Amino acid sequence: MDAITEAVRAMYTAFPYPSGAPTMRQGNDARVLLSYGARARPPGRPLRVLDAGCGRGVGLIGAASLQPDVEFLGIDLCGAALAEARAETERRALKNVRIAEVDLMSLEGLAVPDGGFDVIISSGVVHHLSDPVEGLTRLANVLAPHGVISLMVYGRHGREALYRAVRAIDAVAPRDLPLEERLRIGRALVATAESAALTAGPWSDMRAVSDVEFVDRYLNVHETSYDVPGLFALIERAGLTRLRWVEPADWDAAALVPDGPLRELVAALPPERRDALVDSLTWRPRLEVVLARAGNAPRAPLDGNVRDDEPLAWNPDASLRVERRNLRDRERVEGLALHVRSRDPLPIANGPVALALLALERQLAPFRVGDLVQALAQRGVAAPVARAAVLELVRLEAVYRPHPADLA
Ligand X SMILES: C[S@@+](CC[C@H](N)C(=O)[O-])C[C@H]1O[C@@H](n2cnc3c(N)ncnc32)[C@H](O)[C@@H]1O
Contacts with ligand X, 213-232, as mask; x by CB under 6 A: ---x----------------
* 12 vs 36 by CB, closer to ligand X: 12
Q: Residue 125 interacts with ligand X (CB under 6 A)?
A: yes
Burial class (CB in 10 A: 0-12, 13-18, 19+), 153: buried
397 vs 120, 390, 391, 393, CA distance in Å?
Answer: 21, 11, 10, 6
Q: Measured on CA atoms in the order 347, 351, 354, 356, is the torsion positive or negative? A: negative
**Min. distance of Cβ 358 from ligand X in angstroms?**
35
User: Within 10 A of 293 (CB to CB), how many other CB atoms are there?
Assistant: 21
* CA-CA-CA-CA dihedral for 15, 16, 20, 26, to nearest 10: 130
- Provide φ and ψ at 63, rounded to 5°: -65, -40
* 129 vs 353 by CB, closer to ligand X: 129
C-alpha 368/C-alpha 310 separation (Å) is 5
* 158 vs 402 by CB, closer to ligand X: 158
Task: Say which residues have a Cβ less than 8 Å from residue 341's Cβ, sequence separation at least 6.
Answer: 26, 27, 246, 247, 317, 318
Stretch that binds ligand X, among 86-94, 123-131, 174-182, 259-267 (CB under 6 A): 123-131
**Could you say which of 96, 123, 150, 296 contacts ligand X (CB under 6 A)?**
123
Peptide bond preceding 18: is omega within 30 degrees of 0, i.e. cis? yes
Stretch that binds ligand X, among 99-107, 143-151, 164-172, 238-246 (CB under 6 A): 99-107
C-alpha 118/C-alpha 115 separation (Å) is 9
Q: Residue 89 interacts with ligand X (CB under 6 A)?
A: no
Q: Residue 398 interacts with ligand X (CB under 6 A)?
A: no
Q: Residue 287 interacts with ligand X (CB under 6 A)?
A: no
**Min. distance of Cβ 150 from ligand X in angstroms?**
11
Contacts with ligand X, 49-88, as mask; x by CB under 6 A: ----xxx--xx----------------xxx--x-------
* 131 vs 160 by CB, closer to ligand X: 131
**Min. distance of Cβ 73 from ligand X in angstroms?**
13
User: Within 10 A of 334 (CB to CB), how many other CB atoms are there?
Assistant: 8
Residue type, 224: T
- Provide φ and ψ at 339, rounded to 5°: -115, 110
Which residues ranging from 126 to 185 are in contact with ligand X (CB under 6 A)?
128-129
Q: Residue 8 interacts with ligand X (CB under 6 A)?
A: yes
* 263 vs 286 by CB, closer to ligand X: 286
C-alpha 139/C-alpha 142 separation (Å) is 5
* 288 vs 392 by CB, closer to ligand X: 288
Q: Residue 18 interacts with ligand X (CB under 6 A)?
A: yes
**Min. distance of Cβ 122 from ligand X in angstroms?**
7
Binding positions for ligand X, rule: CB under 6 A? 5, 8, 12, 17-18, 53-55, 58-59, 76-78, 81, 103-105, 123-125, 128-129, 216
